[in-house]
Amino acid sequence: MKFENILITTENNIAIVTINRPTKLNALNVTTINELHKAFKTLSKNNEVQVIILTGSGEKAFVAGADISEFANFSVQEGSQLAAEGQEKLFDFIENLKTPVIAAVNGFALGGGLELAMSCHFRVASDNAKMGLPEVSLGVIPGYGGTQRLPQLIGKGRAMEMVMTAAMITAEEAHRMGLVNHIVPQAELLEFCITIANKIMKNSPYAISKAIKAVNANFKEGKNGYKTEIKAFGDCFGTEDFKEGTTAFMEKRKAVFTGK
């Protein structure tokens, strides 16, 4: 796959997707959103790819925000359409992907950049990372799921404060709040994420995909997370992975999963 604004490398069943607009601090524009959608869609269908790591190029920014120049003159209808299409194509799409996605936040993650990181299944930050939702300082609000995912991750009160003050927080503050799982020196960020990916890959890909679905169900309107869990739990019993996992446990050996 060749793209204008993103790079993809795949090795040892791990794909690394890098947003590559360093002169724009990797700002999200429509082209980049479309390219990321295509990349994630293709990678999710590749059985060889078991974990995806998403990061930004350079040492300054993961994604410094949306490309404001693209929508500064939009109408009400165009603004609504921008948010709806972006959420469907990328942010909701990543959140519901069967393949685990780790955000390697290597610098500024602001506005759409933080929203993108929050749509990933969890986040690891470099020690120089800074995060925030500055949209209200531009007379608008987060439109790519930020007002929904941030309270889910850090609680309503903290999220309200971050959104209303448009303040940036450090990696340490993000870690204390539970917004990121780990902080590491920037030079070690990708290697650390690869280490976590390798731990994930020791387990059943089928079970992991079901676990993602069950956890997400708790946050979806009209979904009963417990019922989703019960069905997903039952579905696992009909798989080769379950047979292999339980047999390996009883035979006191390491399981070799196929994802089937």
Q: What pLDDT score was predicted for residue 236?
A: 96
pLDDT tens track for 32-69? 999 999 999 999 999 999 999 999 999 999 999 988 88
- What is the percent of the chain where pLDDT is above 70? 100
Active site residues: 115, 135
Using the predicted structure, report yes or no on whether residue 167 has a pLDDT greater than 90. Answer: yes
Average pLDDT rounded to a whole number, residues 185-212: 97
What is the tally of helices (H) and strands (E) in the chain?
11, 10
Distance CA 142, CA 4 (A): 26
Question: What integer best gives the mean pLDDT of the chain?
Answer: 96
pLDDT tens track for 123-162? 999 999 999 999 999 999 999 999 999 999 999 999 999 9
Q: Which fold has domain 6-200?
A: 2-enoyl-CoA Hydratase; Chain A, domain 1 (3.90.226)
Query: Alpha carbon 223 to chain centroid distance?
Result: 21
Strand intervals (E) in 127-223: 130-132, 168-170, 182-184
pLDDT band at 222 (very low <50, low <70, confident <90, very high): confident
Instruction: State the helix-helix crossing angle for 146-154 and 112-119, rounded to 10 degrees.
Output: 60
What residue spans define the domains of the chain? 6-200, 205-250
Distance CA 116, CA 219 (A): 17
Average pLDDT rounded to a whole number, residues 81-109: 97
Distance CA 190, CA 193 (A): 5
